[in-house]
A and B are shown apart, each in its own frame.
Chain A
Amino acid sequence: MKHKYIPNVATLKIDKDKCIGCGMCISVCPHDVFELKDKKAQIKDLDSCMECGACVKNCVVKALNVNKGVG
């Protein structure tokens, strides 16, 4: 069962122009928030984002931003 938390609050943002489509965010995200489309990452399920910051930390081109919690 997939747990769902309060909707429409996650602060995750992606800068499509910077994204190089490496897929690292997809690899580290624990909640399947991203998908790869046309060689760019995009957010497919924002409400599942728990703002852990794994994607931001591992984005080599700094295309991601989130108001990160402490986990």
Chain B
Amino acid sequence: MEIGEINTSVGVIKKISTTLSLKDKIDGCKVRWGINRFNYTVPTGIYAVGNPGDKAPVLVTADYKLTFDLLRKELSGLDLWILVIDTKGINVWCAAGKGTFGNYELLKVLNKVKLKELISHNTLILPQLGAPGIAAHVIKKAGFQVVYGPVRAEDIREFLGNGMVKTESMKRVRFDFKDRLVLTPMEFIPDLKYAAPFLPLIFIFNLLIISNKTIGEIVILTLINYIPLFIALVAGSVLVPILLPYVPFRAFSLKGLTLGLIWSFAFYKIYSLFLIPDSILVKIAYICYILFISSYSALQFTGSSTYTSLSGTTKETIASIIWGGLLCVVGTLLLISYKLMMG
């Protein structure tokens, strides 16, 4: 990442590369899967790109290395300063929402690096998505002019080139196929906790209704029985994000429910593939669980989406807890009924 140092009036400043190494790319993939995700930071402070002088622009960003890498790879051939503020390894937008990409952190690092002595202007270019955490008029009192730049790093070159004017598209947050796709691993993995409890539940159910098999055989049977619920998890946590605009309804839980219902119809026809007992009670119990898992895991994606509001998610979360809870209770009562009927 570092390709040298430059001597300035405020001390030695590290110069960074604008190309990502293979290791940067591999590490970036790993954090997308949750590996080392909460320890992936660059030190706060100031960095040089190219050969910046006292008139060079200053870009402000977060200390999450995935963010820092996305930024620096767009800056080849440019001469500028990058100011990294302490966001505890969180990206700009999330940190701004939670307050660490904030006035205090920005002022703190401005003082630390003595920016006023380093540059002869007073303009700081912040990512537009830093705005929920920063008040430009507060930073102005400290003598710096905040300019909110484009949402995406890929637009910075054009933004700087046309006199720091944003086009309409530079201002808009998107949520395209690729944006959503890269998020799916970290949807699927945390959503396992909503699907996992059904595994021991089915195991206990099997223990109660089967008497002529070994424990090992029951474990294998349980895993096969569980496949339809695993598919429901994939539907809610992976397919809903990928197919987001094509799945009907605006509420994410209803999008999940829709895919869950489609899968339920298929499941009702092919349940015997999963060695599930031929009983309407058991089949409907499974469908209850499928609907709960697909809708509740899809609901979680509101947290990663770029357009859902707190008021909207509160509304659908309350509804989901009620309906989801009911589905789980009804499903389990059906399994108990089946056991009681079997004697």
The interface of chain A, by Cβ under 8 A from chain B, is: 1, 3-7, 9-11, 24, 27-32, 48-55, 57-58, 60, 67-71
Judging by beta carbons under 8 Å apart, are B315 and A32 in contact?
no
Closest A residue, CB atoms, query B136:
A58
CB distance from B335 to the nearest CB of A (A): 34
> B151 contacts which of A3, A30, A60 (Cβ < 8 Å)?
A30
> A67 contacts which of B94, B128, B173, B311 (Cβ < 8 Å)?
B311
Within residues 301 to 319 of chain B, which ones have a CB less than 8 A from any CB in chain A? 305-313, 315-316
Q: List 15 A-B contacts (CB under 8 A).
A: A3-B175, A5-B312, A9-B311, A30-B172, A31-B172, A52-B97, A53-B97, A54-B96, A54-B128, A54-B131, A54-B132, A57-B131, A57-B133, A68-B132, A68-B310
CB distance from A50 to the nearest CB of B (A): 5
Judging by beta carbons under 8 Å apart, are A69 and B97 in contact?
yes
Judging by beta carbons under 8 Å apart, are A5 and B136 in contact?
no
Give Cα distance in the complex from A55 to B136, angstroms. Answer: 11
Contacts of A71 in B (CB 8 A): 93-94, 96-98, 132
Closest A residue, CB atoms, query B310:
A69
B-side interface size class: 35 or more
Q: Is the interface of A mostly helix, strand, loop or mixed?
A: loop
Closest B residue, CB atoms, query A26:
B171
Most buried by B among A4, A28, A53, A68: A28
Most buried by B among A7, A29, A48: A29
Give Cα distance in the complex from A64 to B129, angstroms. Answer: 18
Contacts of A67 in B (CB 8 A): 310-311
